[in-house]
Amino acid sequence: MDFQAIYKEKLISIPDAVGLLQSGQTLAAAMCASEPVGLLSELENHAERLQDVHLFLCLPMRKYGFYTKPEMAGHFFLENWFYGAPDRKVHGLGMVSYIPNNLHRAGTDRIHAGGLNVFWGTATPPNDRGIMSLSTSLVFERQLIDAADVVVLEINPNLPWTLGDTQIYLQDVDYIVENDTPLVELPSIEPAEVETAIGNFIADLIKDGATLQLGIGGIPNAIAQSLYDKHDLGIHTEMFTDGMVDLFEAGVVNGRHKTLWPNKMVGAFALGTQKLYDFVHNNVAVEFQQGKVTNDPYVMGKNYNMVSINTALQVDVLGQVCSQSIGSRHFSGTGGQLDTHRGAQISPGGRGIIALRSTVKNGAISTIVPQLSPGAEVTVPSQDVDTVVTEFGVAELRGRCLKDRTEALINIAHPDFRSWLREEVEKLGIVPKLVVPGADLA
């Protein structure tokens, strides 16, 4: 086949590709560093002729005009699997709404919910066999490419060629556009003292030879830096991060003892700096698999000694974890937190860790609370919770009663809040009081 001729046949301009969209249609797009920046930026220029187009995105990386400008109301509506900073800001405009989801089912549930007219993704330029790589994200992209009526891929030479389940053939794509935008970067931040203390407690819980998942946020990235004394660690994660590259380059990560995909780092998407994107490029040690595979708890649980490390905003004394809202103000999303927390507990020798600072806002607010704030969304229910870590220590909650959980969590709360927590727990009757023999229980 003459792949160059096929490529030329499918190539159209970005405005022409957006011009294919019709009022009332549904459209999903690839996420994070694989976001189709050219197509999404162009969308607002077509508002005049488009009404009621629903877009499905996950953690949009840029403040696109189509959902952040009030005059776009009625033209576009964003259904969002995971909020970032722009979404939080524009939530009040009424043009964005969160889709509750567990990441490994995001694509499957979208297909279940109804038809998908258009998918916009990104890919590397094709090789001489007409094969492209879907590059930095396979979370739901492949599933939605298969489900959509029309598929448009934005070809970007800056995208790394990643290996695993990432190949896509020119014949599977309806249209191609070209754009060479630099990839979005998430800078690495030096860990604060509190994060290092949390990292050190977690390092004590990780055996040599364990397989790790590290979640999104400042704390999981800081934890990687507490693991330089470990040996033969493996990676089975949702998100590849810069910290994992550092651990690989230091010889700490080699996947030697992994029981699933031995010797490979496995994940569904990469978000970090250019160092990470260079690392995953054409790297046979890095295996991209679909989110429905990496994050399926029963797949993740096939790794022995699987440890998941995620972070949260609030934990109540029952062990209910809220990682996605501050009270009723939606903040981010469940992502793969519950998937991976469960997967780690299915794993023989595994452990699900939730790590968080004991206080926020300069010590004014305790993150360990008697009750979640009204309206808070539960990310990990109390029946799934395993281990919670703060800078004051480790609370092992799995299989333990509420009385013991309460005590364990109060012991890792900030000392300034411990007596308040005890009083509140008693007021709420969460912990049974000691019954005096002979007391009247009527």
Judged by CB, which is closer to ligand COA: 18, or 421?
421
Residue 81: phi, psi to the nearest 5? Answer: -80, -20
Identify each DSSP E strand in 219-350 by its residue range: 234-235, 239-240, 265-267, 269-270, 286-288, 306-311, 314-316, 321-322, 325-326, 329-330
In the complex with ligand COA, the residue whose CB is nearer, 361 or 427, is 361
User: Contacts with ligand COA in 308-367 (CB under 6 A)?
Assistant: 310-314, 323-324, 326, 331-333, 335-337, 340, 360-361, 365, 367
* Residues in Cβ contact with 82 at an 8 Å cutoff, skipping those fewer than 6 apart: 58, 59, 332, 333, 335
**Applying CB under 6 A, what is the total number of residues that bind ligand COA?**
26
Straight-line distance from the first to the last Cα atom of the chain, in angstroms, rounded to the nearest whole number? 86
State the pairing for strand pair 131-133/167-169. Answer: antiparallel
Give the list of residues 6+ apart from residue 401 with CB closer than 8 angstroms, or none: none
CA atoms within 13 A on the CB side of 80: 27
Q: Which is nearer to ligand COA, 76 or 331 (CB)?
A: 331
Nearer to ligand COA among residue 159 and residue 326 (C-beta): 326
Among 397, 436, 391, 1, smallest CA distance to 219 is for: 391
Q: Least Å distance between CB 73 and ligand COA?
A: 27
Residues within window 373-432 making contact with ligand COA, judged by CB under 6 A: none
Stretch that binds ligand COA, among 4-12, 88-96, 129-137, 305-313 (CB under 6 A): 305-313
Site residues for ligand COA, window 152-171 (CB under 6 A)? none
Report yes or no: 186 and 318 within 8 Å, Cβ to Cβ.
no
Name the residue among 258, 251, 290 with its Cα closest to residue 138.
290
SS3 content of the chain, % helix, strand, coil (to 5): 35, 20, 45
Distance CA(143)–CA(156), nearest Å, equals 21
Distance between CA atoms of 378 and 363, rounded to whole angstroms?
23
In the complex, minimum distance from the CB of residue 365 to ligand COA, in angstroms, rounded to a whole number: 5
- Closer CB to ligand COA, 92 or 437, in the complex: 92
Question: 245-251 — which CB contacts under 8 Å span 24+ positions?
Answer: 245/272, 245/275, 245/276, 245/279, 248/279, 248/285
Q: Phi and psi of 339, rounded to 5°?
A: -55, -50
Q: Spot the catalytic one: 35, 154, 195, 238.
A: 238
Quote the least distance from Cβ 319 to ligand COA, whole Å.
16
71 noted as active-site residue: no
| Region of 13-21, 191-199, 307-315, 407-415 interacting with ligand COA (CB under 6 A) | 307-315
Q: How far apart are CA 336 and CA 310, in angstroms?
A: 9
Give the whole-angstrom CA distance, residue 160 versus residue 33: 10
Nearer to ligand COA, 47 or 58 (CB): 58
Q: Is 87 in the site for ligand COA (CB under 6 A)?
A: no
Tokens read off for 18 = 């957006």
Least Å distance between CB 354 and ligand COA?
A: 9
Nearer to ligand COA by Cβ, of 168 and 338: the residue is 338
Give 86 or 217: the residue with its C-beta nearer to ligand COA: 217
Applying the rule CB under 6 A, the residues between 205 and 264 that interact with ligand COA are: 215-219, 238-239
**Chain length of the chain:** 442
Which residues are identified as catalytic?
238
Q: Interface residues with ligand COA (CB under 6 A)?
A: 215-219, 238-239, 310-314, 323-324, 326, 331-333, 335-337, 340, 360-361, 365, 367
